[in-house]
Amino acid sequence: MIDLDAIRAAQRLIAPVAVRTPVEESRWLSGILGGPVLLKAENLQRAGSFKIRGAYVRMARLSADERRAGVVAASAGNHAQGVALAAQLLGIPAVVYMPRGASIPKEQATRGYGAEVRIAGATIDEALTHAEAYAAETGATLVHPFDHPDIVAGQGTLGLELLEQCPEVATVVVPIGGGGLAAGVAHAIRAVRPDVRVVGVQAAAAAAYPASLRSGAPVPLDRMATIADGIAVARPGALPFAHVQAEVERVVTVTEDQIAHAVLQLMERAKLVVEPAGAVTVAALLAEPEAFTTPAVAVLSGGNIDPLLMMNVIRHGLAASGRYLSARVRIPDRTGGLAGLLAELARCEVNVHEVAHDRTTRHGLGEVDVALQLETRGPEHARSVIAALREHYLVLDHDGAEEPEGT
């Protein structure tokens, strides 16, 4: 277990390197929660996430011999960039193992900082196995993404910084993957302000902590599938788990729809580009606003989002918000049939993005299925469009006319 002195020492060490990221009030979220809500914009940190804090502390404390032997790490992207940047600043050779399917921009950024990137394994945990083998073979120092005292202390500097910026805070909401950030932040905050509640958030599709906390020890997941790749860790670290178990009030989970909705809302309402892993805190606030005492601070842990994923998340978020409506409608297969459908959509005042005839499915003679992609003004408008279509046509299925949880 780390202590407050370790975090304060780490804070002094990273002062010339890490950015003191802003804490800004969100009037949009404050209105929903009925009290002040602030955003800790760690997505604006160097290398795009909080990871430089822990990586630099760990690597700055290496001996001269250890620095010459180099370092090795495993990461889906944010830790990779943090290690690569710290290695560049400290003049240390670095090898980073990234899982297959890792974000291409994150991989390119890691290479751009001068690290050697090797693709291995399907998950962070499998990539970590390769990194551990490389360390054993070469003598390089393994810079673990979350399970090391220096890493946890480095991430804890965010907690001290947050208290300085928002001394009146009552609740701090933090993303959790392996647990290094949550552990460090929780210890820093609880050591200085034991009255402050710390809440962790995981993606429901990659949530190892709830079962582990129930069991009293880290329990690995059999599978994970989430857009929040930055917190997709199958097994909590032993050291972070001990801190989370002792100092985090509770760990909640959010769905993929809620995460996508939060990414979109942060972009639209807060003008911030935040990756899915960093947006889970806002997703939790939106899903259950009455569960968080204000003033509350949501930590936005990173902003490294693949542009292609961003396009998909925006589209998914629009659908989850009832503003992007997909529907399949059966219409008469005759002259003017499609024109009649489009005229009905015009009366509904929707913007038609795509129209596609589907003649491969089984249906009655003289009928054809039409797939529609529509832009609406929101959930109520989307539901009215479906109701209007049902008055004239058979609506086979639709997606995007339901209001997401917590909005």
What pLDDT, on a 0 to 100 scale, did the predictor assign at position 122?
86
Residue ranges in 170-234 assigned as alpha helix (H)? 180-192, 209-215
Out of 118, 142, 166, pick the residue that ends a domain. 142
Percentage of residues in the chain with pLDDT exceeding 90? 78
What's the CATH code of the domain at 179?
Answer: 3.40.50.1100
Q: Out of 26, 75, 212, 301, pick the active-site residue.
A: 301
The answer to whether residues 225 and 329 belong to one domain is: no
Kindly report the CA angle at 297 between 294 and 299, in degrees rounded to 5?
155
The answer to whether residues 309 and 222 belong to one domain is: yes
CA–CA gap between residue 372 and residue 391 (Å, rounded): 17
In the chain, the number of structural domains is 3
Average pLDDT over residues 375-390: 91
What pLDDT, on a 0 to 100 scale, did the predictor assign at position 364?
65
The answer to whether residues 105 and 168 belong to one domain is: no
What's the mean pLDDT when you consider all of the chain?
A: 93
- 271 included as an active-site residue: no
Give tens-digit pLDDT for 178-221.
Answer: 999 999 999 999 999 999 999 999 999 999 999 999 999 999 99
Out of 279, 295, 315, pick the residue that ends a domain. 315
Beta carbons within 8 Å of 94's beta carbon, 6+ residues apart:
70, 71, 72, 73, 83, 84, 87, 114, 115, 116
Q: Out of 26, 40, 49, 51, pick the active-site residue.
A: 51
Residue 407 in domain: no
The answer to whether residues 85 and 163 belong to one domain is: no
For 211-237, letters b (16+ CB in 10 Å) and e give: ebbeeeebbebeebebbbbbbbbbbbb
What's the CATH code of the domain at 338?
Answer: 3.30.70.260
Measured between alpha carbons, how far is residue 303 from residues 205, 273, 309, 377 in Å? Answer: 20, 6, 12, 27
Average pLDDT over residues 368-372: 91
Average pLDDT over residues 70-85: 94
The answer to whether residues 68 and 176 belong to one domain is: no
Kindly report the CA angle at 279 between 184 and 12, in degrees rounded to 5?
30
Out of 296, 315, 334, pick the residue that ends a domain. 315
Report whether 96 contacts 83 (CB < 8 A).
yes
Report whether 180 contacts 147 (CB < 8 A).
yes
What pLDDT, on a 0 to 100 scale, did the predictor assign at position 265?
93
Average pLDDT over residues 147-164: 98
The answer to whether residues 211 and 297 belong to one domain is: yes
What pLDDT, on a 0 to 100 scale, did the predictor assign at position 402?
58
Percentage of residues in the chain with pLDDT exceeding 70? 96
What pLDDT, on a 0 to 100 scale, did the predictor assign at position 407?
46
- 326 included as an active-site residue: no
Confidence band of 400 (pLDDT split at 50, 70, 90): low
Average pLDDT over residues 14-23: 97
Average pLDDT over residues 362-379: 83
Give tens-digit pLDDT for 319-331.
Answer: 777 788 889 999 9
Residue 40 in domain: yes
Beta carbons within 8 Å of 277's beta carbon, 6+ residues apart:
78, 175, 177, 203, 228, 229, 230, 231, 232, 301, 302
